[in-house]
């Protein structure tokens, strides 16, 4: 089973950030490197943010792994400063992606899932081509992990506890098996099924009807957004293919 869509990316050459990273202290200087780092970040967040404007996303990922303080500063989704640092770097240094992060995804994870980490986020399989990006579920995973975490439309129809109207409000991936003779199946993310079914079960009568109408409208917008990201991925792939042919 496979999808034809792939998601290549262009990454501009990165520069060293060696002068920004703390050097390893000598035996005579091992006092408290973390405290000095924390002091710099907390006392001069504006300066730290300004420095990050000159770093590519890959450099910022490296910086976030230097110490706990840098990681906390650069990897806090609720921080506006954090979001701006990653957004500025993406727009300044990357030609792809051009679209902003999809609903429910922050800037760091958006760059990570597209550029920085092409491995399955569940099993860690990093073999080339082993994992794919499923915008419907906002995940990158291999076929094996996808099947573990999804159910087909046929499975859901057999389940007495899930009305068909509820199924129609869920995002799904359309997948054809390895041969054209194999029918296309719709796969639904199990966590989405559980949360949506629970939400529906708490409602009754007219509230359920209004809920379904609202969910179906949200579903249309959600899947329209998904199509935009697949379109951008395909456009990027086409451009890279043309460049390879011209080489």
Which tens digits make up the pLDDT trace of 113-150?
998 899 999 999 999 989 999 999 999 999 999 999 99
Q: Is the pLDDT of residue 36 over 60?
A: no
Per-residue pLDDT at 85: 94
Can you name the residues that pair with 172 across neighbouring β-strands?
188
Output 219-224 pairs: Cβ under 8 A, ≥24 positions apart. Answer: 219/168, 219/169, 219/170, 219/171, 222/103, 222/171, 223/136, 223/171
Three-state secondary structure call for residue 229: helix
Stronger pLDDT, 196 or 6, i.e. the higher one: 196
pLDDT in tens, 219-243: 999 999 999 999 999 999 898 888 8
Which helix (H) or strand (E) segment holds residue 189: the answer is strand 184-189
Per-residue pLDDT at 15: 43
User: Worst-scoring range by mean pLDDT, 26-30, 112-116, 133-137, 184-188?
Assistant: 26-30
Q: Is the pLDDT of residue 27 over 80?
A: no
Kindly report the CA angle at 117 between 9 and 95, in degrees rounded to 5?
Answer: 25
Q: Is the pLDDT of residue 21 over 90?
A: no
What CA–CA distance (Å, rounded) separates 106 from 83?
A: 7
Q: Is the pLDDT of residue 197 over 90?
A: yes
What CA–CA distance (Å, rounded) separates 50 from 28?
A: 32
Can you name the residues that pair with 187 across neighbouring β-strands?
152, 173
Phi and psi at residue 191, to the nearest 5°: -60, -40
Kindly report the CA angle at 210 between 205 and 216, in degrees rounded to 5?
Answer: 130
Can you tell me the mean pLDDT for 199-210?
Answer: 94
Q: Is the pLDDT of residue 65 over 80?
A: yes
């Amino acid at each position: 089973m496979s999808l034809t869509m792939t998601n290549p990316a262009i990454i501009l050459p990165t520069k060293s950030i060696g002068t920004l990273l703390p050097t390893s202290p000598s035996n005579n200087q091992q006092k408290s490197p973390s405290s000095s780092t924390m002091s710099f970040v907390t006392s001069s967040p504006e300066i730290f943010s300004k420095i990050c404007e000159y770093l590519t996303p890959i450099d910022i990922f490296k910086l976030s792994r230097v110490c706990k303080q840098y990681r906390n500063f650069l990897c806090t989704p609720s921080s506006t400063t954090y979001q701006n640092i990653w957004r500025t770097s993406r727009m300044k240094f990357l030609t792809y992606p051009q679209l902003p992060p999809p609903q429910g995804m922050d800037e760091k994870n958006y760059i990570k899932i597209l550029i920085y980490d092409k491995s399955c986020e569940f099993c860690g399989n990093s073999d080339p081509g082993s994992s794919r990006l499923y915008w419907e579920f906002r995940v990158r995973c291999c076929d094996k992990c996808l099947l573990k975490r999804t159910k087909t439309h046929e499975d859901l129809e057999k389940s007495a506890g899930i009305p068909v109207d509820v199924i129609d409000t869920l995002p799904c991936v359309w997948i054809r098996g390895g041969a054209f003779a194999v029918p296309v199946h719709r796969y639904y993310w199990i966590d989405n099924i559980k949360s949506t079914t629970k939400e529906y079960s708490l409602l009754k009568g007219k509230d359920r009807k209004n809920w379904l109408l609202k969910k179906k409208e949200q579903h249309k917008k959600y899947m329209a957004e998904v199509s935009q990201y697949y379109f951008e991925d395909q456009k990027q792939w086409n451009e890279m293919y043309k460049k390879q042919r011209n080489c």
